[in-house]
């Protein structure tokens, strides 16, 4: 699956993530914010707060979803969402070049510039 297709599915159809996938995604996002913080002095204090609020998890099964890296995780979720909900995933392809539009409601192709309004 192309990276732009993975992005499209996760950006516009993430509501089809299961609870464990959503928790793993929330954990990754929170961990990313902590590790890329400008203020490293408060990281441990914020880590405890994130854990108490459910933004981070220590659930091994959930963390295993992330063990092969974020790109692998995103790909597997997008594949599962597409396989389990094919009738609910609407791909908005350009009628001229057949490439994927930026959003499900876009009416202009980002690839060839064709406008179908």
Q: How far apart are alpha carbons 15 and 18 in whole angstroms? A: 8
Q: Residue 23 corresponds to which tokens in the numbers above? A: 């928790």
Q: What is the mean pLDDT of residues 62-83?
A: 97
**Structure confidence at residue 38 (pLDDT):** 77
89 and 13 in contact (C-beta within 8 Å)? yes
Q: Residue 82 corresponds to which tokens in the numbers above? A: 């597409």
pTM for the predicted model, two decimal places: 0.86
More confident residue, 94 or 44: 94
- Among 75, 68, 84, 72, which residue's Cα sits nearest to residue 18? 84
Tens digit of pLDDT for each residue in 21-56? 999 999 999 999 998 887 777 888 899 999 999 999
**Structure confidence at residue 65 (pLDDT):** 97
């Amino acid at each position: 699956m192309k990276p732009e297709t993975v992005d499209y599915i996760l950006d516009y159809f993430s509501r089809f993530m299961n609870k464990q996938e959503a928790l793993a995604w929330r954990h990754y996002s929170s961990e990313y914010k902590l590790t890329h913080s400008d203020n490293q002095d408060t990281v441990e204090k914020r880590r405890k707060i994130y854990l108490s609020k459910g933004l981070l998890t220590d659930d091994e099964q959930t963390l295993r979803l992330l063990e092969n890296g974020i790109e692998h995780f995103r790909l597997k979720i997008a594949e599962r969402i597409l396989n389990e909900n094919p009738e609910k995933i609407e791909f908005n392809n350009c009628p001229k070049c057949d490439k994927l539009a930026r959003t499900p409601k876009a009416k202009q192709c980002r690839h060839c510039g064709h406008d179908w309004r």
